[in-house]
Amino acid sequence: MTHDVTHTLPDELLLAYGTGALPEVFDLVVATHVSLCDDSRARLESFDAVGGALLEDTAPMAMDEGSLAACMARISDSPAAAQRPARRPGIFPEPLRKAVGGDLDKVAWRPIGMGARQAILQDTRGASVRLLSIPPGAAMPDHGHRGLELTLVLQGAFEDEFGTYRRGDVEIADEEIDHMPRVLGDETCICLAATSDRLRFHSLLPRLAQPFLRI
């Protein structure tokens, strides 16, 4: 289920997500990828361990008098512990399912030509998150990028000059990358793609991208 992911997220991006420093637009891609890739999850959770160590060592600030009592009152009305969540059918891990309001059948697709479709989930001043559906045999026109772009495969596969990408794999591209992704196999390729606004993140992104893109 999660063992064949070959293109994972680099430590820098996982750490930035973990601490909340990553531009918001990439959060959904990271959360969805981590749900599909145990290697990335293990690295993300190991970064959290540093946060735990810092918390343990933080100088305690006295809580108000009656604080424990107030919290006890709060918890005594709360229901019993949650059960293990049921695994749901479909191709969307939980964070994406939440963002869409369901699985593939709930996506509001719009045609974008040549049989391809997209559904924009979020678009704020040029920073966007969208689902893409590209039919078998299709190739995206050769294109460059504004800012950083993360593309996560959810179904099917595509390839470009940098490799082959299947379910769970993320391709990382930026201003320096021009590529022409082509759908592999006979299954429609469904991807989640997030693109940042170049102006807003101009100084941050090259720094994040540098160690793994070697730009």
3 state DSSP class of 111: strand
Let me know: does 25 contact 33? Beta carbons within 8 Å: no
Contacts by 203-206, CB closer than 8 A, 24 or more apart: 204/23, 205/147, 205/148, 205/174, 206/174
Let me know: does 25 contact 127? Beta carbons within 8 Å: yes
Supply the minimum distance, in Å, between the C-beta of residue 87 and other proteins: 7
Supply the minimum distance, in Å, between the C-beta of residue 170 and other proteins: 14
Please tell me the distance from the alpha carbon of residue 65 to that of residue 84, in angstroms, as a whole number.
Answer: 36
Supply the minimum distance, in Å, between the C-beta of residue 62 and other proteins: 6
The correct pick among 5, 9, 15, 170 for binding other proteins (CB under 8 A) is 15
> Which residues, 88 to 117, sit near other proteins by CB under 8 A?
93-96, 98-99
- 106: Cβ–Cβ under 8 A, 6 or more apart, which residues? 100
> 95 vs 135, which CB is nearer to other proteins?
95
32 binds other proteins (CB under 8 A): yes
Binding pattern for the stretch 40-79 against other proteins, x by CB under 8 A and - elsewhere: -xxxxxxxxxxxxxxxxxxxxxxxx--xx-xxx-xxx-xx
Among the residue ranges 10-18, 101-109, 134-142, 159-167, the one whose residues contact other proteins (CB under 8 A): 10-18
> 42 vs 114, which CB is nearer to other proteins?
42
141 binds other proteins (CB under 8 A): no
Site size for other proteins, by CB under 8 A? 69
Picking from 152, 167, 39, the residue whose alpha carbon sits closest to that of residue 91 is 167
